[in-house]
Structure 1
C-alpha cells in the first residue's frame, strides 16, 4: 500500500435480532423530536407506527415523511426538509431501503448547512457544519447505505443520479435488525442481495482497496455467497437473513472506504433515465462488468472464485477467476435476475441514450477505480452488451 488509508464508520452500530427496540434509547440521547423518513410499504407493514411508539416510550416525539416512492430525488429531499423545519424536528430517522436512507442523509446535511443537495457533488460545497443526528435503519439486506458516507440523489432537471460523498453524510447510528428484512419478497431479496455482493466485490477489486477494506469485503462476499440462495428460497430462514444483513453491512463499510467501480458508474445513469431500481441495475450489470474486467484483476477475482468453490484447492488463478465470473452469472440466473431487455426497456430508446449514459458514468468518477478503465467508446459497447446479456439460463422479471 503506497499511501495512507482512511476507514470511516457510523459512531454506533447496533446489529442483531430485535436491535430495533433500541431506537428510542439511541434517539433520546440525540434529540427530542424526530422526522422519520420512510415509504408507504414500511408504513403499511406497521414498521413506522411501531417505531413511533418505541420513540414515545423514551420521550421522543416524531413526524413522518413517507413520500419516498422509488430512487431518491431532489424533490423528496426538498419536501422532507420543509417538513423537518416546519415541525421543529432536531434529528432524522431513516426506516426503509437505500432510497429512504439516502434521502435522510441529504436532509441531515442540508438542515444545518443549507443550499441545494447538488451543490455538494464533487465537493463543490463542503459541509462544514455538523449535520443533525441521523439514525439509519435498513429494512433490506442490500445497499449498506446505513454504513456509508455516500448519498445518491437524482437531479430531476438533468436526469443525472448525483453521487455525493463527504464525511458529513455518514449516519451517526446504524441499527441493523435482520428481522426487518424478513418482509422482503423474493425478487427484492434477490436484487438487494446481488447489490450487496456487487458492493463487496467492487470494494475488493477497487484501486483504492486497502487491508482493512479487503478483510471485511472478503467476509461480506463469503456471507452473501453462502446465504443468498437460502434467504431467497425460504424468506423465513432467519439465520440466512441475519447473515445477509451482516454481509450487506460489511459490504457497505468496505465500499465507502475503498470506493465502488464500474458497475455503479454504469448503474446510476440506467436508474436515472429508465427508473430501474438501484439494486436491480447493479445486479443486471455485475456479471458483464466482471467479464470485461477479468484480465486486469485475475488474482483478485480468483479469491472470489475460491469462495464459490472452496472445495477446489488446486485451481490456478486463471481457472479460479473464470469460475468467479461463471458463478456470478449462474447465481444471477438462479435468482431470476433479468437483463435490461427482459426488464422491458425499449431497445431503440436505450440505444439513443447510450452516449449520454456512458458520459455520465465516466463523469461520476467511479469507473476510474475499476481495474480496467474503459474509454467512452468501450463503455458504449459495454452498455450495448448489457442490454440483452445472457446469464446461464433465461431470466424472468417479476
Structure 2
C-alpha cells in the first residue's frame, strides 16, 4: 500500500458564529453575478433574503432557485441550471442542507461541462472544464457536503441515487455558521447528527483511511458524542450547535478523502426508492451494519470506544467494540430514530425491492471500502435485519 496520501478541501473555509455575513465578500472574490440555490424552508424563514442582502452589499447582482424541496433530483438540477444559464451567473451560492448543496455542485459542473449528470456517474465521463466557483453554506450540522468532492443526485428515470466523486465537485469556499442550524427542528437535528456520526465512523474504519482523515474523524466522533443529544434536546444551545457544526465539517472532510463504506452504500437505495431522508436512512442502518462489520473492525471500533466511553478502561478490543455499538444503539433510541417499519415503508414493496437495492448498493462502490466486504446476498439479509431493527 502506498504511503502517499492526498487531502482535498475547499480553498477557503470560514466558520464560527456570524460567519454567514462573509458570503458577499467570498462570492465577490469569485464572480460578478451570483446564483443562489436553496430550498423553500430557507426562503420562508428569511435566510435567502438575508443572503441576497449580503450579496447586494458586496455589489453583486443575483438570481435564485429555491426549489430543492426534497432529496436533490436531476429535475432540480435541470431547473436551476436553466436559470443559471439564462441569467449568465458566474458564481454559485448554495444555502441549505446537503440537498441544496449537492444540487448546486451538479449545476456548477454542468454549467462548464454540459450534458446530463448521469453521464458522469462511475467516472464513465470526467469533468474536463473547471466548474463555476461555488460557495457552500450549510444550514444543518450533518451532511458535510460543504467540505466534499461528492454529490448525490436522484436519477428520476431509473429510481437510483447517483453518487459522483470528482475533485471538480469541491466547493471553492465553505461558510459554516452554527447560528444557521438553530432553526433545525429536533428530528432534523437528530437525523443530520447521526449522518455526521456515520461519516466519521465510516471514514475511520474505511479501507481507504489515512492518518489525516483519522484525526478529523476521531475529533468529529468525540464532538458528536458530547453534543448531539444536547443540540437535539435544547436547540438554542449555541455551544452545542457550534460543536456539532464543527463536527459535521470535520466528518465531511474525513469521508471525502477516505470514503464512506457500507452504511452509505445501503442507505442511498432506500432514499431513492422510498424517499427516506438521507440522514434518517443512514441512522436506520448504522447499528446493524456495525454489528455485521464488527469482527473485521474490532481494533478500530475499540479505539473509538476507548476514547469516548466512560467505562472503557480495562476492556478488551472485542468488549469495547460491543460496548461502542451498544452506545450507538442507545443514542439512536434517545434521538427517537425509527426503523423502516415504524417509518412506514411498505413491507411487501420493500421485499420486492431487495435485489435491486442490494445491487444498487454494490454498484455505488462504497461497500467495497468496508472492512468486511459484503456479498449481494449479505446485503439483502442486512436490509431484512434493518427493516424492523430493535434499537433497545
Q: Aligning the two structures, in what range does the TM-score lie when normalised by the shorter sequence?
A: over 0.9
SS at match of 1:129: coil
Q: What's 2:387 paired with?
A: 387
Q: In structure 1, what is the Cα distance between the partners aligned to 2:58 and 2:310?
A: 48
Q: Is the 8 A contact 2:305 2:312 kept in 1?
A: no
Deviations 1:342-364 (A, max 9, x none): 00001011000001000000000
Alpha-carbon displacement from aligned partner over 1:181-201 (angstroms, at most 9, x marks no partner): 000000000000000000000
Distance 2:189 2:31 in 1: 33
Q: Take 1:360 and 1:197, find their aligned partners in 2: how far apart are those partners?
A: 23
Structure 2 matches for 1:251-262, cutoff 5 A? 251-262=251-262
Task: Give 2:275's aligned residue.
Answer: 275
Moved over 4 A (4+): none
- What's the offset of the Cα at 1:311? 4.5
Aligned equivalents of 2:282, 2:304: Cα separation in 1: 18
Alignment of 1:67-82 (within 5 A): 67-82=67-82
- Cα deviation for residue 3 of structure 1 reads 4.0
Distance in 2 (alpha carbons) for counterparts of 1:198 and 1:275: 19
SS of 2:29 mapped into structure 1: helix
| 1:31 matched to 2:31 | yes
Q: Measure how far apart 1:314 and its partner are.
A: 1.3
Offset from partner CA, 1:252-297 (integer Å, 9 cap, x none): 0000000000000000000000000001000111111001100100
1:322 aligns with 2:322: yes
Structure 2 gap ranges (5+):
none
Aligned to 1:365: 365
| Count of matched residue pairs | 392
1:396 corresponds in structure 2 to none
State the Cα deviation string for residues 289-319 of structure 1 (Å, max 9, x = none).
0011001000000122223314532121111
Equivalent pair of 2:134/2:173 in contact (CA under 8 Å): yes
Aligned to 1:41: 41
Aligned to 1:146: 146
| Matched residue, 1:208 | 208
C-alpha RMSD of the superposition: 0.8
Cα distance in 2 for residues equivalent to 1:350 and 1:189: 27
* Farther-moved stretch of structure 1 (311-320 vs 15-24): 311-320
Looking at structure 2, the residues matched to 100 and 306 of structure 1 have their Cα atoms a distance apart, in angstroms, of 37
2:171 counterpart residue number: 171
Classify the secondary structure of the residue corresponding to 2:208: coil
Q: Indicate if the aligned counterparts of 1:305 and 1:327 stay in contact, CA closer than 8 A.
A: no
Q: Return the alpha-carbon distance in structure 2 between the equivalents of residues 12 and 131 of structure 1.
A: 16
SS of equivalent residue, structure 1 residue 333: helix
SS of residue paired to 2:93: strand
Gaps of 5+ in 1: 393-398
Partner Cα distance (2:278, 2:346) in 1: 19
C-alpha deviation, 1:14, in angstroms: 0.3
* SS of aligned partner of 1:30: coil
Greater Cα offset, 144-153 or 116-125:
116-125
Distance 1:2 1:118 in 2: 31
TM-score w.r.t. structure 2 length? 0.99
**CA contact under 8 A between 1:308 and 1:327: conserved in structure 2?**
no
